[in-house]
Amino acid sequence: MREFIFPETINVYKMEEKQLSENESLELISKMINKAKQSYKDTGVSSMMWGIVISLCSLVRFAEIEFGFSLPFNIYWLTFVAVIPQILISIREHKGKNYKTYDDTYMLYVWMGFGISIGLLVFITSVVGNEAAKSSFPFYEYISSFFLLLYGIPTFITGTACKVKPMLWGALLCWICSIATVYSNGKIDLLLTALAAIFAWLIPGIIMQLDFRKAKNELVRNHV
């Protein structure tokens, strides 16, 4: 006996196929979004590196003044040397991303430009500072203000663009400390610089690194 299929049954089958297709599409889109998020996640390595370098330089210089010793080299040249790993880290992270957004590209150049600017500023202040030492203008008393002003720029851009609130607050702290160093003495300037570096870069960098590892582990568990 030939089986008769009612039109209503055919419509149900079509609806189930359509529903299945929609679910599969949503699942595929979800996987693509997760991959994009994984790709976009900042590892926080660059931020941690600058937080360590700047705070270390400031604290070492503070110790030199406080305890009356001096290293055989200018500790701030370490910031100039740090430009090289900054560029290498930025290029490696950029190439390692399977999905690149416009934000990825301009953030890469923001931090590369920051690293180059720091190196140049160290060089310029060392040259100008030697000349200023011959005059009555206390140039070195205001160096920290300029550095802290510069520190806040890429930090603020990253904090707002990437929605990293700890870095946003860190940028504001840099600018507050920049104003404060105009009125404080050299030793306090160094401590404020170290404080700003820790809260603007080191702590947010650690948070970003933990978030990055957590997101990576979740993607591995979900086989995305």
Structure tokens, 89:
């880290």
- The amino acid present at 169, given as its one-letter code, is W
CB 152 within 8 A of CB 172: yes
Return the top range by mean pLDDT from 25-29, 74-78, 211-215: 74-78
Spatial separation of the C-alpha atoms in residues 108 and 43, rounded to whole Å:
13
In whole angstroms, give the CA distance from residue 188 to residue 130.
22
Q: What is the pLDDT of residues 5-37, one digit of tens each?
A: 445 544 544 544 555 455 655 555 555 445 444
Reported residue count of the chain is: 224
Checking phi first, is residue 163 left (phi over 0); if not, alpha (psi -120 to 50) or beta?
left
- pLDDT given at position 8: 53
Give pTM, 2 decimals: 0.71
Distance CA 173, CA 162 (A): 18
Q: What is the structure's pLDDT at 209?
A: 87
pLDDT in tens, 64-73: 999 999 999 8
Distances (CA, A) of 42 to 162, 169, 177: 9, 18, 26
Whole-number pLDDT of residue 163: 83
